[in-house]
Structure 1
Amino acid sequence: MRFHLLYSHALIYAPLKLLFVAAFLFTYSSTLKVGETCSSSSDNCDAGSYCGSCAANGNTRPRCTRIQPINPVTKIGGLPFNKYSWLTTHNSFALTGRKSGVGSDLLAPTNQEDSVTDQLRNGVRGLMLDMYDFNNDIWLCHSFGGRCLNVTAFQPAINVLREIQAFLHKNPTEIVTIFIEDYVVTPQGLTRVFNVSGLNQYLFPLSRIPKNGEDWPTVHDMVMKNQRLIVFSSQSSKEASEMVAFEWNYVVESQCEFYY
């Protein structure tokens, strides 16, 4: 009788084991890597990739695709920082498929499929962050009317700033620029959140930012001095009150029109 029970158990166990292996293999292969053919209807590519084709280069079969820029410094070195082009993302924090940091559903538009950490790993070097006073803190919101709401609040700014700090710490030759769409009215609000994040050690000082269109220091110089974080604010008052550069004193923006 004991033998019979053991034998029966083995018969039951074997199919379960096979079922487990099959399920594991199915789960493991459920996402596709860059370059693998895919179906645009299911779009089961890895995170940060999308299923698409490019007829311009003869690639008519849909494949998982990720576009990663070439680091311009690897092509030609020794130039001033402003002589290079750096990939920048708009509303870098507005990640799809997430709830608000306060737990509510988000009604705000989203712009990104990758976290800020993944954007930086993939070659992004400029981040546009909308900062607001919210819940007695500084938050990243994609909002309107200068007010952050539960349904437009993504997360506290400190979270993303710490992601940037971790990237700069691990990559000592990289430079990151932050463009703040600034709705913060709390006195020294930006100063406080940057202090807490640990980013101050990398800040490029306001006194060194060139004026009147002059060239910036070279990338090598900025790296050697460990001044690898440039921060601009959309509020002119922050330059005097918090030593954060007012962006339109130093940068220009190409004008464009959208046609639908």
Structure 2
Amino acid sequence: MRTPHALLTMTVTAAALAAVAVAPAPAAGADAVPSPGTYYVQSATTGLNAADNAGAVEQHRPRGNEDRQQWNLRADGGWHLLENTDGPGTCLGRGGDQARTVACASPEARWQITPVGTDRFTLADPGTDRRLTVAPKPAGANHPARLTVGTGTGDLATWYLTPTAPATRPMPPQDRRTLDQVTFLTAHNAYANGVDGGFAPPFVNLFPNQNRGIERQLADGVRGFMLDIHQTPDGAILCHNSCTLVSRPVALWVDLQRMVDFLRAHPDQFVTVFLEDYVDPAVLRAELARVQGLSEVLYRPDRTGVRENGWPAMADLTAAGQRLLIFSDHSRAADRSAGLTRDSFGVMYQREWTVENHWSMGSGAGTSDWSCYSRWYDAGTNIPLTRTEPGFRPLFVMNHFRDTTVASTAGTDNSKLADRARRFCQPAACKKPNYLAVDRYDLGDPAAAVTSLNTYTYP
């Protein structure tokens, strides 16, 4: 089990952020304000949604049509109203310097919505420089939940108006679809299968995340592999939490060799590995050096202009033979202090190339938490699911599993994967999931969700 650690971005000018109306009039550039409809009001800083909480307006984890997070946008003269879908007649408004819900007929419910780049907006008290704002982050804490109305600027006062049912486009033809447009079935803790070898101490070993070995997973269409690696005198070993008391653990190079051999035999396929990484960089480099043919298939996005030009077409990667992408959740800063960075030998730092939602939906039984929020949002880190950069959109890793793997629960959860991706996680990230990570991929037909997501793009 993975443990916790782990739209298009616009250039916003200072002038655009500072611009406010000084007299009631139809909003300039009103044609750039979204059409009437149902939206999430989503912070550009945290990726969290504005929600009505007994009259207070707070930022909450995205929860689809739950938790009073959806707002009907409509024009009101030269301004706009945002009426809560769960409270007819109740709108997102202001009470002094706090955001709160008020009667839609109140002047405090009116907002001047100003575009500050495609899909991003400020919401201002008409005729003033007061905007809906996320409160600044105290040292050693998250941003406060309660939203304020003040003179904030920058991303703290910038919002996505994310449609609850966005228009999609058909997937491009095979020869033109890019890596960030494709969705892959991904096995959470793929090594913890009880087939290839031991993966945990005796009791934990009774709860495998998968029940088929890596070679069978590849044959079944799994193309993303989450692997936990720990350091032993034998190198980088695949184990849960530690390798102490584990019988017959598998070395990382063994599973990577299986994947490289598969790619050699299937030149049209692409595989991604996600390392939950507890080894020194020199140990990992030595482990990769044991994999025959790895350099022939390894994909290096850091060397091909991805951050400037976006992800390449899958057909181009196939033609170049670059079909194995490896990520590590390790810290670049820690590696620099050690004198050897992982990307120097082809392992990418995941937080630089992807976004990822929180790793757990709850315990292995009972109620589940379908909210979809960043795994990397805490007192020390703020990487919202909505993060992008000019010309570059991170890949989206969607986790969909529990703390403990129970077969009946995994089967039920997997059958609901497409629904959670569509209603919860896709709008939370303002992008389509690229990797659907599940336990027991053989139950509940998660491959059907992958197939469905691969019929369209999220513009």
For the superposition of Structure 1 and Structure 2, which TM-score range results when normalised by the shorter chain? 0.5 to 0.7
**Distance of aligned partners of 1:99 and 1:165 in 2 relative to their CA distance in 1, 3 Å threshold:** closer
Alpha-carbon deviation of 1:220? Answer: 0.7
Conserved? CA contact 2:238–2:249, under 8 Å: yes
User: Within 5 A, what are the aligned runs for 1:64-143?
Assistant: 76-96=174-194, 100=198, 105=202, 107-108=204-205, 109-143=207-241
Work out whether residues 131 and 184 of structure 1, in 8 Å CA contact, stay in contact via their aligned partners in 2.
Answer: yes
**Paired position in structure 1 for 2:349:** 246
% same residue:
26
Unaligned runs of 5+ in 2: 1-170, 336-340, 369-459
Aligned partner of 1:9 in structure 2 is none
Match in the other structure for 1:189: 283
How do 1:156-167 residues align onto structure 2 when only pairs under 5 Å count?
Answer: 156-167=251-262
Aligned to 1:155: 250
Whether the 8 Å CA contact 1:138–1:189 is kept in 2: the answer is yes
Q: Deviations over 1:6-54 (max 9, x none)?
A: xxxxxxxxxxxxxxxxxxxxxxxxxxxxxxxxxxxxxxxxxxxxxxxxx
Question: Which structure's residues are more often strand, by fraction?
Answer: 2
| Distance in 1 of aligned mates of 2:329 and 2:248 | 19
Which amino acid is 1:252 matched to? V
Q: Flag the structure with higher helix content.
A: 1
Partner amino acid, structure 2, of 1:175: F
**Aligned pair partner of 1:175 in 267, 270, 281:** 270
Deviation at 1:243? Answer: 4.0
Distance 1:78 1:196 in 2: 35
Structure 1: runs of 5 or more not aligned = 1-72
Name the aligned partner's letter for residue 303 of structure 2.
Answer: S
150 and 118 in structure 1: CA distance in 2 versus 1, 3 angstrom threshold: same
Distance 1:240 1:231, change over 3 A: closer
Q: How many residues align?
A: 183
Q: CA–CA distance in 1 between the matches of 2:343 and 2:188?
A: 26
Cα distance change, pair 227–98 in 1 and its aligned pair in 2 (3 A): closer
CA RMSD, aligned part only? 2.9
| SS of residue in 2 equivalent to 1:87 | strand
Q: Tell me, in whole angstroms, the C-alpha distance in 1 between the residues paired with 2:212 and 2:240.
A: 16
Which whole-Å deviations, capped at 9, do the CAs of 1:72-128 have from their partners, x for residues lacking one? x997442111101011110001113675389x8463441111111111111111001
Q: TM-score, normalised by structure 1?
A: 0.62
